Chains A and B, each alone.
Chain A
Amino acid sequence: MPTITFAQSSGATTEITVAEGTSLMRAAVTNSVDGIVGECGGQAMCATCHVYVRPEFTDQLLELSDDEDEMLDCTTAERTDSSRLGCQIKMSPALMNIVVDVPADQV
């Protein structure tokens, strides 16, 4: 099963193994990962599950939808080229050992 590693700005990391199809936001919220809020419940409405995907995994991600792209403009922490919404990343074999950095602020 795919594994997600969440890296905090403090240097602490959390590794979570999840079923395929699980969203990165859901994995974080159900496992108490600090810094991922998911306030809207996964509908790309609140931008509180913002993550920075490590460059080696960005090619494997599905392309940004227009909705996600537009919502990323309202993240609290700075948006970069590697910014994504965790609720829009669904785990698949291609993302087997994805590593993401959690921003310092979400709200």
Chain B
Amino acid sequence: MDAKRAEHTVIIGAGQAGIQVADSLRAEGYPGAVTVLNDESADPYQRPPLSKDYLSTAAEGTALPLRGPDFFESKNITLHSGRAVAVDTDARKVSLDGGTVLDYTHLVFATGAANRPLSCPGATLEGVHALRTLRDAQNLQRALATAQRVVVIGAGFIGLEFAAAAHARGLEVTVLEFASRPMGRALSATASQWFAERHRTDGIDLRLNEGVTSIERDEAGLVVISTTGRRYPADLVLYGVGVLPRTEVPQAAGVATDNGVLVDAALRTSVPGVLAVGDCASFPNVHTGTRTRLESVQNATDQGRHAARSIMGENSSYAQLPWFWSTQGALRLQIAGISEPTDEPVILGDPSSGKFSIALLRNGALAAVESVNSPADHIAARKLVGQNISVDPATLTHPSFSLKALAKTLIPVPS
């Protein structure tokens, strides 16, 4: 590498992670040029509201920007429209689809993830939607305005958030999920069963152990045909069947990938000068001891901050506790830590009240906490989980127990 090359960090991806890297580089006093590549036509925006507030009737109708319009100029960050098509890691050059070539000293992949496509016949019919981008959300807004019957394929976070929003607008909603419980990849069985019952009580027709074989169109509209042979008429179909990390460009550039861009504890890839953050990065998770790829705002922003410090020369391990949230109608789910199927669930509070938490114990220690309409538990859990705190189930279920009080006794109050 040319030692005199001007310091320039190029960030591929203008989502929550990419923008955070740029912001944090400036906050850390990075002296070089910073360019963020944005491959969407809209200015960088926040994704979480797209499956929630944005689709409710009370929506303000515009996306929430990640930063204001003055931000980029005032921080001397170049927001460049374009898609990276190739990276030459020896010459340290990024080629864009418009023909532009950028020299870099540091490169950050913040390419995020793409929706896993629906593979059944009829998946690309008009009226079959996915939800990831602002454009997707705008299409759905329009479709919701005239739809009456909605079929949702996949009872993950996106599917259920959308189902709740559509139901709140007065639409008939059926959710088909091939697995035996909703949100099975992210939630304990105890919590996901509670959510299944609650959504059904609220009036959503949630059908488990039922996948989709095909989608057809007849004179009346769409028809979703399930693995049990049932036919569900619909005006609008939304599928949310998982995501795939966007690794084509790093992979073609010779950067090691395996269900994501492989990074070390400082978020560096296998190639010098190249990092990866957010949904696309597979990182060593100090909390589980395994490689993890997380799709969350917390992970995107905290890794964005950490990568900026790595670029500044700090060599520390990324160790932030993962946390997640989902709002499904009036249900507010917050998760601290990552549960495993073998964890022992202990219920705190009364699930029938609609406000409770589930503590998940691993080898007697608090490994994760799932909170429903209980932000205080969640906030306490974010302080407690990851500290290997041993707890006795009998203590947790005692009527006088509170996670908040436990957090206060264990953690010194900052002076």
Contacts and interface: CB of A to CB of B under 8 A. Distances in A.
Given A26-B64, A30-B64, A67 B375 contact: yes
Nearest to B325: A45
A39 B376 CA distance: 19
Contact of A71 (B47, B48, B71, B379): B379
A39 B374 CA distance: 20
B233 to A, nearest CB: 33
Interface in A4-43: 21-22, 26, 29-33, 38-43
Contacts, number: 65
B379 A42 contact: no
B68 A32 contact: yes
A44 B325 CA distance: 10
B273 interface: no
Interface residues of A, number: 24
A86 to B, nearest CB: 12
Q: Is the interface of A mostly helix, strand, loop or mixed?
A: loop
A75 B376 CA distance: 12
B69 A32 contact: yes
B49 A43 contact: yes
Given A22-B60, A40-B48, A67 B68 contact: no
A53 B177 CA distance: 46
B70 interface: yes
Interface of A: 21-22, 26, 29-33, 38-46, 66-67, 70-71, 73-74, 107
24 contacts: A26-B64, A29-B65, A29-B67, A29-B68, A31-B68, A31-B70, A32-B67, A32-B68, A32-B71, A32-B74, A38-B46, A40-B297, A41-B46, A41-B53, A43-B49, A43-B52, A43-B53, A46-B297, A67-B332, A67-B373, A67-B375, A71-B375, A73-B404, A74-B382
